[in-house]
Amino acid sequence: MDGSINFMTNGDINVYPCPWESDKTVTDGRRIKYRAGIEVDADGRTSVKRYNSRKEETVWNQQ
């Protein structure tokens, strides 16, 4: 899915789908919350890993 990623000065990261992606859904219509860790490499590659009681699962990876 194409999107816009905004890194806020307070540390928040907001991801917005592009307008041409409006016909796609990524959930069943409700908000889903995850606890996650974020890793940012020196070259800007960013990964978001969800915390799980048994393992970490990558939920998003920007390369």
Residue 3's contacts (CB-CB under 8 Å, 6 or more residues apart) are 15, 16, 17, 18, 21
Half-sphere exposure of 52 (CA within 13 A, CB side): 9
Q: How far apart are CA 32 and CA 12, in angstroms?
A: 17
- pTM summary value: 0.49
Show contacts of 21-24: CB within 8 Å, 24+ apart: none
Asked if residue 21 is part of any domain, the answer here is no
Residue 40 lies in a domain: yes
In a domain, 51, yes or no: yes
pLDDT in tens, 3-49: 888 888 887 888 888 888 878 877 788 887 778 888 878 877 778 77
- Per-residue confidence (pLDDT) for residue 40, from 0 to 100: 79
What is the count of structural domains for the chain? 1
| pLDDT of 58 above 70 | no
Q: Is the pLDDT of residue 53 over 60?
A: no
Residue 63 domain-assigned (yes or no): yes
Contact, 20 vs 11, CB < 8 A?
no
Structural domain span for residue 39 = 34-63
